[in-house]
Amino acid sequence: MRTALSTLEVVRPRGLKQALEVLARARDQERWVPLAGGTDLLVYLNAGGFDGRRFLDMWGLRELRGIRVGKSAATLGALTTFREIREHPLMRRRFPALVSAAAEVGAWQIQNRATLAGNIANASPAGDSLPVLIAHDAVIHAQSIRGMRNIPFDQLYRGYRDLVLERDELITAVTLPYPPARSVAFFRKVGTRRAQSISKVVFSGLIAFDGRAGVTHVRLGYGSVAPVTLRARHAEKALSREAPSPESLERAREALHRDISPIDDIRSDREYRLTIAANVLEQFLRGAHPGFAGRKASRV
Ligand SMILES: Cc1cc2nc3c(=O)[nH]c(=O)nc-3n(C[C@H](O)[C@H](O)[C@H](O)COP(=O)(O)OP(=O)(O)OC[C@H]3O[C@@H](n4cnc5c(N)ncnc54)[C@H](O)[C@@H]3O)c2cc1C
């Protein structure tokens, strides 16, 4: 049954410090649920069965807004919306895979409200931005009144929808190091249709080459193929330090089976997901370097 709004309590802190104090005071009592764009939380409330009754509305917290351009990295405030990501010139230039993911999160109405930190904290294995954060070695900044800590994104989830965040911690920002020189980034979401679907498989990759050393850097992030978004380390290993070739591609496809463990569910089945996960990897690699298709590179 739909949750009656009259039963809910909402506080709107004036600043980040006050927000963190509210969370800290309630450490041993009923929790204040952080509320950002509300695109997940309001759906849960509408469906009923969500047990949170107290909400900390963060929408007005200026400290959590904006994209800061640094020398070696960009830092996105927790409340950065997918529309802001799509439209930011630096994001378009340096993080095209994240821009592609942002463009596939729902429609404009959702992208205007949905935040990056909300996508992260909601922790759906199908969250579209999450494989990109893996591919880019994102670092999550989590803050409480006890201070700030930095969590590498690939260590954020303990299990299905289970984050290492403490009850009184907020995600305040996400840092993305700039990709290595001459790297190629990729994003691909496979759903039931081209737009506004939940992923059956979602993938992002980042790869860099050196003429002699072959693959010098590779990150492969997958969603919807395990209880958490994950890094495909075996497949990465099959590619690292190898010259791009059809054989190394085939080894990576095979190694991928040791990284992912998709399930049958209402959106897809295990076999389909295994095949598609390997196919999108192949699509990425062939597009990134002609050597994976068995052709000679004219320029590396
Ligand atoms: C119609 C529709 C279509 C959608 N399509 C897609 C899609 O294609 N792909 C996709 O990935 N998602 C999709 N979503 C899901 C959703 O838009 C995203 O997950 C969104 O990014 C969540 O952000 P939010 O700001 O709305 O979070 P909220 O709903 O406000 O919060 C979500 C969760 O994150 C927590 N939270 C939020 N901010 C913080 C913070 N700073 N620190 C700690 N915890 C925090 C909240 O407590 C809550 O548990 C869709 C949703 C709808 C309604």
Report pLDDT digits (tens) over 163-217.
Answer: 999 999 999 999 999 999 889 999 999 987 676 778 889 999 999 999 877 999 9
The response to whether residue 156 sits with its C-beta less than 6 Å from ligand 1 reads no
The response to whether residue 115 sits with its C-beta less than 6 Å from ligand 1 reads yes
Structure confidence at residue 269 (pLDDT): 79
* Pair of tokens at residue 232: 């495909």
> Whole-model pTM above 0.85?
yes
Mean pLDDT of the chain: 93
Mean pLDDT of 235-254: 97
Is the CB of residue 139 less than 8 Å from the CB of residue 120? no
Residue 293 predicted with pLDDT over 80: yes
Structure confidence at residue 300 (pLDDT): 42
Structure confidence at residue 297 (pLDDT): 65
Residue 231 predicted with pLDDT over 90: yes
Ligand 1 atom nearest the C-alpha of 39 is 26
Is the CB of residue 177 less than 8 Å from the CB of residue 212? no
Nearest CA to ligand 1 atom 41: 171
Q: How far is the CA of 42 from the centre of ligand 1 (A)?
A: 9
The response to whether residue 142 sits with its C-beta less than 6 Å from ligand 1 reads no
Is the CB of residue 180 less than 8 Å from the CB of residue 24? no
Nearest CA to ligand 1 atom 50: 106
Which three-class secondary structure state does DSSP give residue 259? coil
Residue 135: closest CA among 222, 251, 247: 222
Structure confidence at residue 71 (pLDDT): 97
The response to whether residue 106 sits with its C-beta less than 6 Å from ligand 1 reads yes
Is the CB of residue 185 less than 8 Å from the CB of residue 204? yes
Residue 128: closest CA among 159, 166, 164, 82: 82
Is the CB of residue 54 less than 8 Å from the CB of residue 30? yes
Residue 56 predicted with pLDDT over 50: yes
The response to whether residue 8 sits with its C-beta less than 6 Å from ligand 1 reads no
Mean pLDDT of 284-298: 89
Report pLDDT digits (tens) over 107-155.
Answer: 999 999 999 999 999 999 989 999 999 999 999 999 999 999 999 999 9
Ligand 1 atom nearest the C-alpha of 165 is 43
Nearest CA to ligand 1 atom 47: 34
Report pLDDT digits (tens) over 64-90.
Answer: 999 999 999 999 999 999 999 999 999
